[in-house]
Amino acid sequence: MARCRFESDIKYRDEKTAEYVEYTCPETGNILDSGLCIFHDENYLTDSKNKEANKQNLKRKYSEKLARSEPLICIGYRLPDFSFVDLHFDKSVNFSDAVFMGLANFSGAKFTKEADFFGAKFTKEADFFGAKFTEYASFSGAQFTEYASFSGAQFTKRADFYLARFTKKANFSGAKFTVVAGFTGAKFTEYADFSGAKFTEYADFSGAKFTKRANFTGAQFTEYA
């Protein structure tokens, strides 16, 4: 049976072996003429008819992983508009190098284990309003082309936005960072709102660039920043 030929040098933690391994797509169904599955072919979503099919397959994948109590690994995926509103991820999720080609709505989502969005590209609005991250959350190198909201989000462990790029407004108002908040080298091209945000431990903004206004009104820094 044909298998998707997508491979990546990005490593993820294999929960069966507890080792970090390079990603090879395991999909054996829905393989296109390109040799890639519908999640990895960059041209598949250009046809509007395929967007709904992609959504349904992603819902099926999430349900299967939830039922099996397995991590959701979506490295390099091309994703349409999709709602993850209030979903509970009780295993690790990995969207490294994924391209969100439509609205990415994670508002109210709960990430009980690691959440990895390393190098992800959000081409439309990214909504993480009120999302809760219990373990390490990485958005290192992520690119946000449109409005990005982390308003009211809660990060219990380290939150990493190293070299993240925010092209439009970045909203972190009321966000809570319990441990280290890393924004080293992050770039904010438009308005950056951190009003009312709470940083319980070290907040690192070294090398961060704010092209326009940055609002830290009412923000609380318990340790040094």
CA dihedral 154, 160, 166, 168 (to 10 degrees): 0
Other Cβ atoms closer than 10 A to 117: 28
User: At a CB cut-off of 8 Å and minimum separation 6, what does 3 contact?
Assistant: 25, 26, 27, 28, 31
What's the chain's length in residues? 225
183 three-class SS: coil
Summarize pLDDT for 96-137 with one digit per residue, the tens: 999 999 999 999 999 999 999 999 999 999 999 999 999 999
pTM score of the predicted model: 0.93
Predicted pLDDT at 13? 80
Burial 39-72 (b: 16+ CB within 10 A, else e): bbbeebbeeeebbeebbebbeebbeebeeeeebb
Residue 1 has pLDDT above 70, yes or no: no
Note the pLDDT tens digit of each residue in 139-159.
999 999 999 999 999 999 999
Whole-number pLDDT of residue 225:
60
